[in-house]
Amino acid sequence: MKTPFIALDQLDKRYPDHHAVKSINLDIDAGEFIAIMGPSGCGKSTTLRLIAGLDEPTGGEIRIGGDSMRGVPAFQRNTPMVWQSLALFPFLTVAENVAFPLRMQKVGAAERRKRSLEWLDRLGLASMAERNIAQLSGGQRQRVAIARALVTEPSVLLLDEPLSALDAHLRVRMQTELSRLHRELGITFVYVTHAQSEAFALADRIVIMSEGHIQQVGRPQDVYRAPANAFVAEFMGMNNLVRGEVRSTRDGVLDIAGALGDFRVPSATPRPQGSKGDFVIAADRIALKPEADGEGLSGTVLGLEFVGSTQTVFVEIEGGAEFRVQKQQHEIEALNLVPGRKVKLSWNPEHAWLLPQAA
Amino acid sequence: MNTSLATRLSRLAQYGFLGLLFGFIATPMLVIVVFSFDANRFPTIPWGGFSLEWHRAILDDAMIRDAFLNSVLVGLGTAMLSTLLGFAAAYIDFRYRFRLKLPFVLLVAVPPAVPATILGMAMLAFLSRIGLFGRLETVMACHVAIATSFAMAIIRLRLNDLSRDLEPAAWNLGASPAAALIHVVLPFCKPALVASFFLSAAVSFDEFLIAWFVGGVHETLPVRILNLLQGQVNPKINAIGTVVLVISVALVLIAQRFTGVRAGRRPKPEGE
């Protein structure tokens, strides 16, 4: 069996006032780009700080490259981190900032200078080497922080919400840059974020956390299409959760009855009658039709919201639930979807995803 | 747009008041400086002509020279020790949380608030009992007790601006806690350290009462001035006064320069 590069084993962190990380297990492979996501306070940043050794776990163990990190202080781990606040040293120049980790490793001055300039060049900052940090723009500072973290050529890079301080177009550029660096260096990136777009654009695997627990680990498309539970479904945002109860099972299809009506949902395994049959249907899988037209759930348009080239339509279903439906601009116009308009919602039953039963 | 008469009058009154205030504070000092260069033996008007006689006289006076040397020694020692202890106290306050933190900070901060007479007497009583009375080091120790609280205040102010992430970031990049202190915290605090060094020196250089109480035969310059005054009116006093004034003002100005260095300048981020 392959040993994971970073292993979190029953990792637990309790502060006097709250329990931040609750006995989580996670294996991260060498060279993987893994994103840890969740709402604020879910324990994702604490997990990162534990890996870096900036906090002591109150239980469990972290292994990096097979070695237990128990009792290994932060400065001996070589797990550099890019901080949300960047944490650049304001009294040092750009080049001196990048050279700092080498200076701590007692690398000679000439070698230090050469290697830090190489990294600055690699990140397009060669002309900024002698500047003060205060003279740089947000994006340039970001790159200094990345160069400083990578200058010792570590085998893992930790990133704590690194792009949250940048404006939208810079954020996309930095994403491309990070993606390129990850490809070129082939090292492990552990990336903490609350932004779905960043995690989806960058990560090989996504870890969803909530209240100190890991809710799901998987490839972005799996987490999106096949959420493990209601929390993940809701957190992904573009899913509609329908609660119901199993009526019968036949040929891999469950008949489910809920407050909104009767539905058919595919399921590889049968479920006993009367058990929970909650399922989700993604917002982009729902068809909208004028009310008079055909079958489906009846609802009233509440409002619309722009998301890039598509719009999200909020529909109130008879019976009280609220659905989100994602549509292209031209479809919205064709259907004349304005608030108050009555519509029918339907979907291909194959696209419904039955939530696994809680273990 | 015309400013109204009332506004102009009010502004004039403000400047006038400010001018009078400064005049009131500065005139006595100015008088001392002017008459220290007066050829007359006693400060009288009219001026008796420019002379360096009294300045030369203080150089020839062995007791004044000794007192000056004592003041410099005590001042330098106080400056170094106070800055070191002040930094230690401020850093403990910055880095650690503990239960008796408020009493701890108060303990360091309180000495200047105690009336100097009481502090002097208390120290005299205590130090003579443990047999440390009448030594130069004793004067220095007492000055350190006072100046450390100023040093801590200045350095604490600077540490408040130190991002909480900066030290952990240094550890994360391979700096041991000691290395982070030396390479990150100290450089960051440098302006405040320099300022507190000079301010502590100025505090010690000017201090009279405690030095008089605990110094015994070891006179610092302010003590020497009083002893001179008690004898007879001596024209050398104006000359000493001028020297002390110049040194104290210089020390405080240097300290100001370093504490105030951030006030005017703000980093201006450039576009990419």
Q: At B232, is the secondary structure helix, strand, or coil?
A: coil
Minimum distance, in Å, between the CA of residue A179 and any CA atom of chain B: 21
Local structure of A278: helix, strand or coil? coil
B22 domain residue, yes or no: no
Task: State the Cα–Cα distance between residues B247 and B245, nearest whole angstrom.
Answer: 6
- Higher per-residue pLDDT: B267 or B172: B172
**Interchain proximity B165–A87, CB inside 8 Å:** yes
> Could A87 and B163 be called an inter-chain contact, meaning their C-beta atoms sit closer than 8 Å?
yes
Q: In chain B, which residues have their Cβ closer than 8 Å to the Cβ of A138?
A: 269
Q: Kindly report, residue by residue over B203-239, the tens digit of the pLDDT.
A: 999 888 888 888 888 889 888 888 888 877 777 888 8
Q: What is the per-residue pLDDT for A149?
A: 96
Report the pLDDT averaged over residues B118-140: 87
CB contact under 8 A, A140 and B171: no
Separation CA A11–CA A24 (nearest Å): 5
Q: Collect the ranges in chain A with pLDDT lower than 70.
A: 1-2, 293, 358-359
What whole-number distance in Å separates Cα of residue A209 and Cα of residue B169? 25
Whether B174 sits inside 8 A of A89 (CB atoms) is no
Please state the domain count of chain B: 1
| Nearest CA-CA partner of A77 in B182, B173, B169, B167 | B173
The verdict on residue B119 lying in a domain is yes
Nearest-angstrom CA–CA distance, B209 and B155? 27
Whether residue B46 has a cis bond before it, omega within 30° of 0: yes
Q: Which two tokens stand for residue B14?
A: 């403000």
Domains in chain A with CATH codes = 6-234 (3.40.50.300), 238-354 (2.40.50.100)
Question: Rounded to an integer, what distance in angstroms lies between the CA atom of residue B207 and that of residue B244?
Answer: 11
Say what the pLDDT of residue B53 is.
85
Q: What is the mean pLDDT of residues B159-165?
A: 92
User: Residue B15: in which H helix or E strand, if any?
Assistant: helix B5-36
Put simply, the answer to whether A139 touches B179 (Cβ < 8 Å) is no
CA dist B122 and B105 (Å) reads 21
CATH number of the domain bearing residue B62:
1.10.3720.10
Confidence of residue B262 (pLDDT cuts 50, 70, 90): very low
Residue B2 lies in a domain: no
Mean pLDDT across chain B: 87
Nearest CA in chain A to B270: A137
d(CA A330, CA A341): 17
Q: Within a domain: residue B21?
A: no
pLDDT of residue B267: 43
Q: What six digits make up the tokens of A285?
A: 């899988």
With CA atoms as reference, the chain A residue closest to B272 would be A137
**Within a 10 A sphere around the Cβ of B263, how many other Cβ atoms?**
7
- Asked if residues B173 and A101 have their Cβ atoms less than 8 Å apart, the reply is yes
Give which of A343, A306, A302, A299 is closest to A327, Cα–Cα.
Answer: A306
ipTM: 0.84
**Which of the given ranges, A194-203, B2-11, B79-88, has the highest pLDDT on average?**
B79-88
Is residue B125 one of the residues assigned to a domain? yes
Domain contains B224: yes
pLDDT at residue B269 is higher than 50: no
Three-state DSSP at B75 gives: helix
Closest among A346, A347, A258 to A295, alpha carbons compared: A346
CA distance B48 to A227: 99
Q: Please indicate whether, in this complex, the C-beta atoms of A138 and B190 are within 8 angstroms of each other.
A: no
Q: Computed over its alpha carbons, how large is the radius of gyration of chain A?
A: 24
- Which residues on chain A place their C-beta less than 8 Å from a C-beta of chain B? 52-54, 73-76, 78-81, 83, 85, 87, 89-92, 100-101, 103-105, 132, 134-140, 148-149, 152, 170
* Residue numbers of the domain that contains B84: 53-264
pTM above 0.90, yes or no: no
Q: Which residues pair with A188 in a beta bridge?
A: A156
* Minimal CA separation from A34 to chain B, in Å: 20
- Across the A/B interface, how many CB contacts are shorter than 8 Å? 81
Nearest-Cα distance to chain A for B202, in Å, is: 28
Residue A100: Cβ within 10 Å count: 25
Q: Count other Cβ atoms within 10 Å, centred on residue B146.
A: 20
Spell out which residues of chain A touch residue B190, defining contact as CB-CB under 8 Å: 91
Residue whose C-alpha is closest to residue B171's, from A37, A135, A100, A282: A100
Cα→Cα distances A307→A112, A237, A280, A283, Å: 46, 12, 21, 13
Look at residues A118, A83, A86 and name the one whose alpha carbon lies nearest to residue A99: A118
Least Cα separation, residue A79 to chain B (angstroms): 7
Q: Is pLDDT of B118 > 70? A: yes
**Alpha carbon distance B117, B129 (integer Å):** 18
**Helix residue ranges per DSSP H, chain A:** 44-52, 94-104, 109-122, 138-150, 168-185, 196-202, 220-225, 230-235, 329-335
Q: Which amino acid is at B149?
A: S
The stretches of B46-135 forming alpha helices (DSSP H) are 53-60, 62-95, 101-109, 116-129
pLDDT > 70? residue B268: no
Among A112-121, B90-99, B248-257, which is the least confidently predicted range?
B248-257
Q: What is the pLDDT of residue B15?
A: 95
* Chain B, nearest residue to A147 by Cα: B173
- Does residue B208 fall inside a structural domain? yes
Residue A110 near residue A102 (C-beta atoms within 8 A): no
Interface mutation vs chain A, best among B173, B186, B188, most A CBs within 10 Å: B173
Task: Break chain A down into helix, strand, coil percent, rounded to 5.
Answer: 30, 35, 35
Q: Which residues of A touch B258 (CB under 8 A)?
A: none
Residue A135: CB atoms within 10 Å: 16
CB-CB under 8 Å, B187 with A100: no
Chain A residues with beta carbon closer than 8 angstroms to that of B163: 85, 87
Cβ contacts (< 8 Å) between A83 and chain B: which residues?
165, 169
Of A89, A132, A139, the CB nearest to B166: A89
- pLDDT confidence bin for B263, thresholds 50/70/90: very low
> Could you tell me which chain A residue has the CA closest to the CA of B179?
A104
Q: Which of A296-310, B21-35, B131-145 has the lowest mean pLDDT?
A: A296-310
Integer angstrom CA distances of residue A201 from A37, A170, A220, A306, A356: 13, 14, 9, 20, 26
Whether residue B35 is contained in a domain is answered as no
pLDDT value of position A208: 94
Q: Per CB distance under 8 Å, which residues of B are interface residues toward A?
A: 163, 165-166, 168-177, 179-180, 183-184, 187-188, 190, 267-272
Please tell me the distance from the alpha carbon of residue A348 to that of residue A336, in angstroms, as a whole number: 23
User: Does the beta-carbon distance from B267 to A132 stay under 8 Å?
Assistant: yes
The whole-number pLDDT of residue A52 equals: 95
The span from the CA of B47 to the CA of A212, in Å, is 84
Helices B136-160 + B62-95 axis angle, to 10: 40
Please say if the pLDDT value at position B270 is more than 70: no
In chain A, residues with a C-beta closer than 8 Å to the C-beta of B184 are: 89
